[in-house]
Structures are given as C-alpha cells and as structure tokens.
A and B are shown apart, each in its own frame.
With several copies, the nearest count.
Chain A
Amino acid sequence: MAITADRHTTIRVLLFASYAERLGRELLELSVPPDTTVGQVLELVREMPGGDQLPRHPLCALNLAHVGSDARVGPGDELAILPPLAGG
C-alpha cells in the first residue's frame, strides 16, 4: 500500500472539564496530513469556535500518555487536551 504525501489521517481529539465547556464539545474528529505534530493539531483546534479560549501550550496526552507538542500523530490516534490537573 503506497503512502503518498497528501494522504490524510483521522485522529480523535478529546476535550475535558473547562476546555470541553469552552469549545462546547468533548470530542472532535480531525483529518490531518501525515506527520502532523501535536502542536499543529492544537493550532487547528484553536481556530475552531471557542478554541481561542484555550491556552497556546496546554497539557496534551497521546494515546493515554503525556506528550510534548512536537510529538507526531498517526492514524487512529487519540489526542487529549488537558486543562490544569487538579487531582490528589
């Protein structure tokens, strides 16, 4: 199966707590180019309605583990944008 540069990848983006309220939703499905970084996904989310209320560099988790903004997303990945943690 050939992989071409313009082949897009579908990822799930989860929003929680105050961030879910700001965007009015808890789940987004986004189609992004291969090798897209977490930081680039965040830019897309920030362009959506209410997205400008997210901080520029929020905590993120990819497939249930914390990641930095330079991590790359792949097909079927679950990216979570996490408000400041308040457990414990």
Chain B
Amino acid sequence: MPYLTDQPIDPSALLQSVESAERGGLACFFGVVRNHHAGRAVLRLEYSAYGAMAEAECARIVAETLARWPVAVALRHRVGRLEIGDTAVGIAVAAAHRDAAFAACRHVIEEVKRRVPIWKRELYADGTEEWVDPTRAGSGAEGQRGSEAAAGAGA
C-alpha cells in the first residue's frame, strides 16, 4: 500500500477505508498547509521524500500501531507542490472504543513527524525559499526532537 501520494488526500475516502460495522469510533487527524510559519507569510511549499524509506517507515509505524491497539489505520502523506489549505497528511483510525482510536491516531502522527524522511521547502511572500528545519529554535514546530537526539529513532 502506498503511503505517499502526489495526489490530493480525500478525507472521506480515508475515513471509509477504515470503517467497518464492528468499529464504532473513528478518530482522525489532518495536517493542512498553513499560510504562515515561524512568523513568515507562506505562499506554497514543496514536500520531497526519501521515497523507499518513507514507505518502509510508514509501514512500520502502522504495523506497530496495529500490534499495540485493536484498530484499523489509514495513513497518507502528500509529496510534491502544495498550496495553502492543501492536506499534507491524513490519518484515520477506527476502533470499537474511542480511547484506542484517539491514542492510536495520536501515536501515528507523532511517529510520522519523528521518523518518516520527508522534507519541506517553503516559498515565502517575500520571494525567498527555505528548507524547513523543525529542530531550529523559533521554527514554530512542536514536539520535534533535535536532529542529534533523533538519531537511531527507528532502531
């Protein structure tokens, strides 16, 4: 199953892919391109990835999640050029109980941010461009570990 896509992510399709008559609780998360980052006005951005590893890492994250909670999981991350308001990442988790659905959904997005090799180049309103480094102070990123600390994160 491809976790990366260069096509728009459809929230309804993602939800439907995990729905079943057995599971009554669906928790989901969507990361959407914002018009600002670290105080700068963003026009658009470009996601690139180490494709083979990103797929493998997403598969590991999903497998670990399925081993830990009784859930169904769908995960998509978009790559390529994105505009403001486009969905960059979509996660849907279905479970019989909402505790598991919420916990598993939160786990997946945290691990995606921490482990999946994807990079983001932002184009700003002032015409400049920059690779986003969430480990840098003032970057506005939340919960991202420093690049040294993250070494061997997937081991």
Query: Which A residues are within 8 Å of any B CB, using their own CB?
Result: 14, 16-18, 21, 55, 57-61, 64-69, 80, 82-88
Query: Which B residues are within 8 Å of any A CB, using their own CB?
Result: 31, 47-50, 52-54, 56-57, 77, 88-89, 109, 112-121, 131-136, 141, 144, 147-148, 150-155
Top 9 nearest A-B pairs (CB, nearest first) are A87-B118, A66-B154, A68-B152, A88-B113, A17-B119, A86-B120, A18-B131, A64-B53, A86-B132
**Cβ-defined partner of B115 (8 Å) among A18, A67, A85:** A85
Rounded to whole angstroms, the CA-CA distance of A15 and B136 in the bound complex is 20
With A16-B117, A17-B119, A82-B117 already in contact, the answer to whether A68 and B155 are too (CB < 8 A) is yes
Chain A residue nearest to B56 (CB atoms) is A64
Could you pull out 16 A-B pairs where Cβ atoms are within 8 angstroms?
A16-B117, A57-B148, A57-B151, A59-B150, A59-B153, A65-B155, A68-B152, A80-B117, A82-B117, A83-B147, A84-B135, A85-B119, A85-B144, A86-B118, A87-B54, A88-B88
Kindly provide the distance from the CB of B139 to the nearest chain A CB, expressed in whole angstroms. 9
Chain B residues lying within 8 Å of A55, measured Cβ to Cβ, are 147-148
Rounded to whole angstroms, the CA-CA distance of A77 and B87 in the bound complex is 35
- A88 and B147: CB pair below 8 A? no
- A16 and B119: CB pair below 8 A? yes
- A87 and B116: CB pair below 8 A? yes
Chain B residues lying within 8 Å of A82, measured Cβ to Cβ, are 50, 117
Chain A residue nearest to B111 (CB atoms) is A88
**Cβ-defined partner of A16 (8 Å) among B31, B50, B116, B134:** B50
